[in-house]
Amino acid sequence: MSNANKEYSDRLFHFLFGREERKGWTLSLYNAVRGSAYTDKDDIQINTIDEILYLGMHNDISFLIAGEMNLFEQQSSFNPNMPLRMLQYIAKLYAGYNKKNHQNVYGSRLLELPVPKLVVFYNGKGGKPDEMILHLRDSFPAGADPDIDVRVRMININRGHSESLLESCQPLREYSWLIDRIRTNNEEMPLVEAIDKAIDEMPEDFEIRDLLISHKAEVRKMLETEYNEEEVLKIVAEDARREGEKNGKELGTEMVLSLLKMLSPGSDEFDRALNGTQEEREALYKKYGITEEK
């Protein structure tokens, strides 16, 4: 893995829906998800975490509106550990909110907080329902009685899924179309050509078309980074699985892949996930709440 992964790299989803200058699209996305009808984009207060957290990227989008703390993430592969990641993100967001509003968490007065709303927009290839709820409690041992839980709403935004929601947010529907077209093109041509062709093929009435064309080089780099990181992690996880088989270790590709996605490339824990003993790896699985997908 190169050091470049430790530098911040924007993602297309954030580029479209997480920028101050495009809060109108953020509001449209929020209305579609919540079934609301807000019209003033300035009701949105974007507060995306300004810190490197995951694979050199910020969290995708977080914002305040109508007494809610919204955290929206886009995932191109299914990650059952999103509740844990969302817990880590939301804790940082509340800490920032407390500081900005001069709230004393050690005081005797009960603090009033914005209600957390956690959503993952899934557009991976694996077959998933239109919607599902992921719970942090599923990471704990069977029969446990945890004092906390985190609930994350995962929405499948692939073409042919969640059609009413996609129809309610034109930019999201167009984003879904673009990703689908890139995948189709990529079956017949290299990724860079597939990206360029998909952008060129976008219908003229698409709201996001002019933006993507005017920032084509930047958009191409975003999409290349996203696709390449996913493929690199899969290759690394598969190599680790094969090495584990040679040494008689029980090692599943998907478990290693899930673990690597939660660690910083080049870190001590990242190295132990790949090269450590089975006992070290199992300790990391337990620490990050990773279990085999049923």
| pLDDT tens digits, one per residue of 237-267 | 666 666 555 555 555 666 777 777 676 555 6
Distance CA 187, CA 224 (A): 15
User: Buried (b) or exposed (e) across 95-115, using 16+ Cβ within 10 A?
Assistant: eebeeeeeeeeeeeeeeeebe
> Sign of the C-alpha dihedral, residues 246, 252, 254, 259?
negative
Name, of 213-217, 241-245, 266-270, the range with top average pLDDT. Answer: 213-217
Mean pLDDT of all residues in 203-232: 86
Q: In this structure, what is the dihedral angle of CA atoms 163, 167, 171, 175, given to the nearest 10 degrees?
A: 20
Mean pLDDT of all residues in 232-236: 60
Q: Mean pLDDT in the chain?
A: 84
Would you say residue 181 has pLDDT above 50?
A: yes
pLDDT in tens, 38-91: 999 999 999 987 644 434 435 689 999 999 999 999 988 788 889 988 998 899
- Of the two residues 30 and 292, the one the predictor is more confident about is 30
Q: What is residue 268's predicted lDDT score, i.e. its pLDDT?
A: 72
DSSP letter (8 states) at residue 57: B
- 225 CB-near residues (< 8 Å, 6+ apart): 9, 11
Distance CA 147, CA 229 (A): 35
The structure tokens 């957390």 sit at 116
Would you say residue 131 has pLDDT above 90?
A: yes
- Of the two residues 199 and 4, the one the predictor is more confident about is 199
Q: Which residues pair with 193 in a beta bridge?
A: none
Closest CA to 72 of 112, 16, 148, 124: 16
Picking from 203-207, 269-273, 284-288, which range would have the lowest pLDDT averaged per residue? 269-273
| 3-state SS assignment for residue 202 | coil
Cα angle value 170/75/90 (rounded, 5°): 100
Helix boundaries (H) for the chain: 12-17, 23-34, 82-100, 163-168, 170-186, 191-200, 209-214, 216-246, 253-261, 268-275, 278-287
Would you say residue 160 has pLDDT above 80?
A: yes
Distance CA 230, CA 80 (A): 16
- 101 CB-near residues (< 8 Å, 6+ apart): none
As given in the structure block, the two tokens for residue 180 are 């689908």
Phi/psi at 145 (nearest 5 deg)? -120, 75
Percentage with pLDDT > 70 across the chain: 80
Would you say residue 292 has pLDDT above 80?
A: no
Alpha-carbon Rg for the chain, nearest whole angstrom, is 20
Mean pLDDT of all residues in 212-216: 95
